[in-house]
């Protein structure tokens, strides 16, 4: 009994463990391949326990994508005490590194927007909004007017950057510094195309 108490996990801890294991599977396969049965087998637990924690395959996918999203956003969080363009460079450098270190996770996040589950799509969209807000903050600090067009342009750039990261960081041996420099040039060009007139 004492041994059981030492090894038995609290419900929240067990749930976190299962989600982490789900995120780990993204290294080798896409999100849509993750099933309740597969995760139960990997974790050595019953299917019923997975249904208890997540309710369905869709519920499992949402929690896995949520954990993956938070991991990416935390790993690429801007360094607040840097100057705007230095902060942008630092964030993009760590983003490229994250994509290369966690390629399956990033790919599943980006492609999660095409998921048939609206809750999964919403989690991915929340990540895009936060990433866009980080970039928008840089250009506002540089003195650009906070216009609707600036926000549209930079939010659109985030989608562009995702594809550039997939094509450059995941499918080529291109130097990370080269990818970062390209992303920096492209986002500055997008911002400059908006101009400086207010709405």
Q: What is the pLDDT of residue 25?
A: 85
pLDDT digits (tens, 9 = 90+) for 22-44: 888 887 777 878 889 989 988 88
All residue ranges of the chain with pLDDT < 50 are 1-6, 199
Q: Which domains does the chain have, with CATH numbers?
A: 2-61 (1.10.10.60), 69-194 (1.10.357)
Q: What is the pLDDT of residue 89?
A: 97
Sign of CA dihedral 25, 27, 30, 33: negative
Q: What is the pLDDT of residue 1?
A: 29
Sign of CA dihedral 117, 112, 44, 13: negative
Is residue 92 a contact partner of residue 82, using CB atoms and an 8 Å limit? no
pTM: 0.82
Q: What is the pLDDT of residue 33?
A: 81
């Amino acid at each position: 009994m004492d041994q059981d108490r030492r090894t038995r996990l609290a419900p929240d801890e067990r749930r976190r463990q299962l989600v982490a294991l789900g995120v780990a599977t993204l290294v080798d396969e896409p999100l849509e391949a993750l099933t309740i049965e597969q995760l139960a087998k990997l974790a050595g637990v019953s299917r019923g326990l997975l249904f208890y924690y997540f309710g369905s395959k869709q519920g499992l996918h949402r929690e896995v994508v949520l954990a993956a999203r938070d991991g990416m956003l935390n790993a690429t969080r801007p360094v607040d005490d840097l100057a705007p363009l230095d902060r942008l460079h630092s964030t993009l450098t760590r983003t490229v590194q994250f994509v290369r270190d966690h390629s399956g996770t990033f790919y599943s996040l980006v492609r999660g927007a095409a998921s048939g589950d609206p809750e999964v799509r919403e989690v991915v969209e929340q990540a895009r909004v936060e990433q866009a807000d980080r970039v928008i903050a840089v250009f506002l600090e540089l003195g650009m007017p906070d216009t609707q067009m600036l926000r549209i342009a930079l939010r659109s750039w985030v989608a562009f950057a995702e594809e550039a990261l997939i094509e450059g960081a995941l499918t080529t041996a291109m130097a990370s510094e080269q990818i970062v420099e390209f992303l920096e040039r492209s986002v500055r060009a997008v911002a400059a195309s908006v101009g400086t007139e207010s709405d």
